[in-house]
Amino acid sequence: MKLEVGYIDIRDICFADSSRLEDGVLYLDKNALSEIVLEDKNISKVEFEIAKPGDSIRITPVKDVIEPRVKVEGPGGIFPGVISKVTTVGSGKTHVLRGSAIVTTGKIVGFQEGIIDMSGPGADYTPFSKTLNLVVNMTPVEGLAQHEHEHANRMAGLRIAAYVGELGKNAVPDETRVYETPSIKEGLEKYPDLPRVAYIEMLQSQGLMHDTYVYGVDAKRTLSTIITPTELMDGAIISGNCVSACDKNTTYHHLNNPVVHDLLEKHGKELNFVGIIITNENVYLADKERSSDWTAKLAEFLSLDGAIISQEGFGNPDTDLIMNCKKVEAKGIPTCIITDEYAGRDGSSQSLADADASATAVVTGGNANELITLPKLDKVIGDLSVVDRIAGGFNGNMAEDGSITVELQAITGATNEMGFNKLSAR
């Protein structure tokens, strides 16, 4: 499967009378945007703001971050099974409005939502302080159930992203890259001497608003399966998560998965990137056993020489991670796991809830319990009053000078387990 991705560099975003993309500047019509959000009767009010790198702006509670993209050629449309028809994507041509993002916020949905600071020390811990953000601030109708509120916010963000992405359909890309995954047979013939490596991507699927969707299917109702790298680039996987902000994979992460991109970079040179096994993280032990068994079975079926496994979230998914690791290793296939740590504020506690002797290669996104003080910023988009209740916040964490103290857990993308962020130790 082959996809040509045209990257259009966005230099600025501003509001205007009509929506368009000209010379890398996104002009957005607020009325048109409002209509798109308010077509869902569960949302009573919406406001739009622009947050740029360096602005004295704090966005919280952040629900999802989405990159605007559009399908230019080939079958299907962006976010298949959710916004577009369910047609298989990942081939043809796609345009990306690189450097821009849609950020959804508003009244809190679940307690596990995040903070994006556009400047100050907090900005260093989130990749979304470096993007030009259109912030969608939504208020639900009175009495809306939590899960309906989550659904309304999720869908509105995706609709807005699709609308903005569409503006780039006829633009001339600043850079074009071609990504290709050969069939099993082609790969074997083309790269007979290269090690066969797959990426095992674990999807958060604990339920109760800890969900991920694959072609519109709730991942907790899926069996482990195979997906190609370019399908991800067309939005085959989207986030429906209200899970701890630091290590949840937003839709933006799924679209720009760094493990996928790094493996593609080495594909045909150092290794043969065979594809991606997606597997879930459910709350029933039988599901954990079944999904990890299937992961190992697929790894063996693909005749892998190695696998990289990334986790999403923490706590009981640590067990899914370890099960995947040890079962794949038991097939004689070496693995490297990517996770993060909840090692206590002083870093001295056990980092993961589960462990196994076969987990010998581990990459960490950092310690999510580490404390950070975020100074007052001039403007807040969303609702600051909940930062003592979000995961990583705590009672009394708002000082009189307007600063807040939180664990890194509260910052969107801070310890991302795809390795999207840049936390490192000296």
* In the complex, minimum distance from the CB of residue 182 to another protein, in angstroms, rounded to a whole number: 37
Question: Tokens standing for 162?
Answer: 């699709």
* In the complex, minimum distance from the CB of residue 137 to another protein, in angstroms, rounded to a whole number: 30
Cis peptide before 195 (omega within 30 of 0): no
Cα–Cα distance measured from residue 144 to residue 76, given in angstroms and rounded to the nearest whole number: 33
- Rg, Å, the chain Cα set: 21
* In the complex, minimum distance from the CB of residue 198 to another protein, in angstroms, rounded to a whole number: 24
315 vs 334, beta carbon nearer another protein:
315
* In the complex, minimum distance from the CB of residue 207 to another protein, in angstroms, rounded to a whole number: 7
50 vs 283, beta carbon nearer another protein:
283
Single residue of 54, 170, 265, 284 touching another protein by CB under 8 A: 284
Cα–Cα distance measured from residue 133 to residue 103, given in angstroms and rounded to the nearest whole number: 6
296 vs 323, beta carbon nearer another protein:
323
Is 325 tagged catalytic? Answer: no
Q: How many residues bind another protein (CB under 8 A)?
A: 15
Three-state SS string across 337-356, please? EEEEECCCCCCCCCCCCCCC
Window 181-210: residues binding another protein (CB under 8 A)? 206-208
119 vs 224, beta carbon nearer another protein:
224
x-or-dash pattern for another protein, window 340-369, by CB under 8 A?
-------------xxx--------------
356 vs 383, beta carbon nearer another protein:
356
Query: Which residues, including other chains, have CB under 8 Å from residue 301's CB and lie 6 or more apart?
Result: none
What's the residue count for the chain?
426
> What is the DSSP secondary structure assignment for residue 118, as one 8-state letter?
S
Tell me: does residue 405 bind another protein (CB under 8 A): no
| 100 sits in which H/E element | strand 100-106
Tell me: does residue 283 bind another protein (CB under 8 A): yes
Say which amino acid occupies 326: K
Tell me: does residue 288 bind another protein (CB under 8 A): yes
Nearest 10 degrees: CA dihedral of 166, 172, 174, 178?
A: 80
Tell me: does residue 285 bind another protein (CB under 8 A): yes
Tell me: does residue 330 bind another protein (CB under 8 A): no
**In this structure, is the dihedral angle defined by the CA atoms of residues 111, 117, 122 and 123, taken in order, positive or negative?**
positive
3-state secondary structure of 254: helix
Catalytic residues, which ones?
242
- Contact residues for another protein, defined by CB under 8 A: 206-208, 283-285, 288, 316, 318-319, 322-323, 353-355
